[in-house]
Each structure stands twice: as C-alpha cells, then as structure tokens.
Chains A and B, each alone.
Chain A
C-alpha cells in the first residue's frame, strides 16, 4: 500500500466514525495534534490539583474534607488515564512532563487563578468542572479510540464533581449573610476565567477547522461557550446569586443568552505566563518532580536488582 492508500483508509474511517486505534496508520499531523491536545489536557488535570489542594487542610468540616480529597484524587486519576492515552501515540510521560516544566506544553489557564476562600471549592466544581464537561462530553466520541475511552470515564467523574461543587455553594447560600457574600465574591472571580476556558473566539481559533474534520473537536469554541452560559444562568438563579456581567440578558430571537465581551487581553496574558499564579503552579510541579528524582531512581534501581536476582535464581535452579 502507498501512503495515499493509507491516507484513504484513514479518511474513510474518519468519515464512517470508526475509531482510530494506536496501531492504525495515521497522518503525522493528526498524531501531533492529538499528542498536543491530550498531553495539554493531562497537564491541566495535574496542575488543576494545586488550586483545590490548597484548601484540603483547611476544609470547614470533616465531610467536606473527605469529598475534596477524593475529588483532587480523581483529578490525579484523570491525569493518569490521559498520560496513558497520549503514550499510545509514541511519547513518554517523562517527555510530556519535560514539556510542561519547560513551558513548551500548556495547561488550562484557569488554574493560574488563586483560590482565596472556601467558596472557591464550590465555584471551581460548579463552573470549572462544568465548563470542562461541556468541552469534554463531545470528546467521548472523538476519533482516537484511547482518548475517547478515557474521556468516557473522566466525564462521569467530572459531572459528579460539578454537582458536589454546586452543592457547596447551595449550602452556603442558605447560610448566613457572610457566607452568601463569600459565594458571590467567588462567582465574581471565577465567572470570566470559566468563559475563557472555551478558548479564543472562532474567528481567532486557527485549529478549529482541521480538528473538527478529525473529530478531535466536535463543536466550535463559541458554540460550547454559549451552551455553557445558557445552562449556568439558570443554576445561578437558583443560588440567588448574580453573574458579574451587566450585558447578560435573554435574547428571545436567538433563543440564547447574550453576554458581554471577554477580556481577551487578560486571556492572552494568562496563556502567555503572566497570570496571577502561573509562576507558583509551575514551580510547585517542578519542585515535586525534582524532589522526587532520587525516589524514582531508587525505585528503578530496586526493580532492576530484583530482575537480576530473579534471573540468577532461575539459572541456579
């Protein structure tokens, strides 16, 4: 078969919505795009552990503490599935870490914002996991098999996280005046960054068309963002809170909520490393990695020794 035949077989699979598997032929660009997207997603899960991890030791009740610990642990698990999915494309986890630590690979910018109150544990679950689900549900049917399967597992847990986050805010909103203030303050800080999670608007998103064709992406950034706004407004009303956007209003004609312009300057600033916590987040990851080097070396040395011993044992026998 020639490259053209391979390409044709690949295109046919894409058209007929048949999953591409690790051993199938795939265009270089497809492989590269997927590695970039999946590793970026994996890094987001891992860096995403930090802002919420920040409140584990300060959770206001033992039950909330247990739920938060379990949530952050889930995110670590998501990172694990995704790194494994990316590895099927011919890159190692260490290489991906290297890209993260040197700033070559990105992660979701939302995690570069600080968590300054307990209500942020609610707002992150509700808005950040909520926006992630919006993005990711579509990926459960993405063309690359291992990625799609990882997303099915992940999405189940993310929607659980979203409900738990919302529940934190609901409980607080039924509490005292100061708790309601805390909730509103948190929503004020997380709303716009959550909208930014959907990425640049469609006319500024160069990868969209090709990615749509490959079903690495299934809806455009703006479509998903609109969908997120529409469901979130209703949920916010139930909390008795306000979304911090004076332009937010129902548009009868469109059948959607209109909303204000995103601050794209802030968006690009944070993407380019100048957000409030970019430095801390990356430092925390790098530090964990560097401090862990001797531990990983020891584990490797020990397993090598065991293999050697097993070999000489069988020889002796």
Chain B
C-alpha cells in the first residue's frame, strides 16, 4: 500500500508542480488569448493534482498507525499522525518538503521564454496523453477515474503545444531558432519520463500503474511527426537529467515550495 501511495503522489506532484509553473504566466502572456489558454491548462493540472492528492490522502488515512509513521520526512505530517488526525489534499501539497516530492524534473524547470514553455509543454503533454490513455485501465478505480476525466484535457493540451511548436518552428527565422534551442535545452529531461523506478515497476506489474518504458517509441513517433512539420530537428544527445521520481531534485523545486507553501508554513494549522 505504501508504494501505491507513493505512486499516486508522483502523479499528483507532477500535476501540482507543472500547474504551478504555468500559473506563473497568468497576467504576463504574449497575447491575451494565450494568457487565458495557459491559465486554463494550469487549472486543469491543478484539478488533476487535487484528484490524485485526495486519493493518496484516503489511502494514507486507511493505514494502520505503524505504517503511517515515518512515511514522510515532514515534521508537520508526523505531528498529525501522532495526534491521530486524518490528512487531506492540502496537507500533502503544503506540508511536505522537497525530499518527499516525486515529480519529474522537467515539470519544475523554469518557464523561460515562450518557446521554452512550449517545448516543456510539448514533451510533457505528448507523454501525458499516452500515459493517461493507459492509466484509464488501472485496476485502482480512483486512478482510472482521474485519468479518464483528465484525458480530454490532456488531449487538448497536446494539441495546443503541438500547434505552437509548429507555429514557432515554421514562423519567422527568430522563432525557429528559439524553438529549436528550447527543444534542445529540455531534451535531456525527457529520459526520466520513461525510466521505471521500483515503485513504478511494482505498480505496472500489478496492473495499477502504467508501464512508462513501453510508451517511449510511440512518444518519439508522435513528437517526430510534429517536429518534422515544424521544420525543426529532433534533438540528439544524452538524456541524463534524472532524479525527480527518486526525490532528487534541481534547485528550482525548493523555491517553488517556499512560495507555494508560504502561508501554511507561516500560519500553521489554520483554515482558509
């Protein structure tokens, strides 16, 4: 059960951290319509994160006390466990530190310019689309339900980011160069999406989770067809930026959490 919780948290953390990044664009987009589109997408991810966190909290609350203890390196959560309190979605989002977060490194990378945001979205959305399609078949009905609901959203996200890759790639010389540079910069982070951790392997074997490694060739085929249409080049080279799923993060995550968790940390235990 512990691994099912960790697996669910990985999905939740991806959605929360990535949605957080997108929400930073709100009010600062290059075109008003795109400001609205990005906020919409950010809201979708926030909704997905909540669905996964609620499920993780329910699974956690159902555990016997001994198994709850020490699951997280969070003083505040341990405190709650000790008092016999149940936890909820906000406790998981707001009271864990970076060494309990399991999101992919790509989701915590900074927005950069519009091309960087588009490239990050393109890699991640294409992956999500394949991933959620499979997760719908999970024998964990809660996970399957969130996946099914999210698939419509993710399908739209994939279209949105693919269209922007094409528009920038096949736009002006300047946009072409920026788009290519962004694809190259984020390429090293794409390997992590398909490397299976022990937790993921166990979940996939038990038909609860998705075999991400098996999605790689389809993912590559999907992005190549868009990159071709965009008159861009598929990046080459190693893809060794890895570790988020094993709670080893970049420096960026700490700042995201400092901001995201500020009120809960400064004014603990209050209702808002």
Q: Hey, which bits of chain A sit against chain B, CB under 8 A?
A: 46, 49-50, 53, 56-66, 69-70, 72-73, 76-77, 79-80, 83, 118, 168, 171-172, 174-176, 178-179, 284, 287-288, 291-299, 301-302, 305
Contacts and interface: CB of A to CB of B under 8 A. Distances in A.
Given A50-B27, A53-B26, A80-B32, A69 B42 contact: yes
B170 A292 contact: no
A66 B40 CA distance: 10
Contact of B23 (A46, A56, A118): A56
A307 B272 CA distance: 52
B36 A80 contact: yes
B167 A60 contact: no
B168 A83 contact: no
B107 to A, nearest CB: 15
B46 A62 contact: yes
B113 A291 contact: yes
B40 to A, nearest CB: 7
A57 B27 contact: no
Contacts of A302: 166-168, 170-171
Contacts of B43: 66, 69-70, 73
Given A69-B26, A301-B172, A83 B32 contact: yes
A68 to B, nearest CB: 9
B235 interface: no
Given A58-B259, A60-B264, A291 B30 contact: yes
Main secondary structure of the interface of A (DSSP, over half): helix
A76 B93 contact: no
Interface of B is mostly: helix
B172 A284 contact: no
A298 B260 contact: no
Contact of A49 (B24, B27, B46, B178): B27
Given A60-B272, A66-B46, A288-B28, A294 B178 contact: yes
B267 A178 contact: yes
B35 interface: yes
Contacts of A63: 50
A296 B31 contact: yes
- Give the 3 A-B residue pairs with the shortest CB-CB distance, closest first: A292-B30, A298-B171, A298-B175
B31 A292 contact: yes
A280 B193 CA distance: 39
Interface string B31-51: 111111001101100110110
Contacts of B50: 62-63, 66
A79 B31 CA distance: 12
A70 B90 CA distance: 19
A301 B178 CA distance: 15
Nearest to B42: A69
Contacts of B36: 73, 76-77, 80
B267 A62 contact: no
A59 B171 CA distance: 37
Contact of A72 (B33, B39, B90): B39
Interface string B256-272: 00011011100100111
Nearest to B262: A58
B53 interface: yes
Nearest to A119: B272
A262 to B, nearest CB: 29
B170 A305 contact: yes
A62 B167 CA distance: 34
Q: Which of A77, A174, A176, A295 has the most chain B CB atoms inside 10 A of its CB?
A: A295
User: Which of A59, A66, A72, A76 has most chain B Cβ within 10 Å?
Assistant: A76
Interface in B164-216: 166-168, 170-172, 174-175, 178
Interface in B44-66: 46-47, 49-50, 53
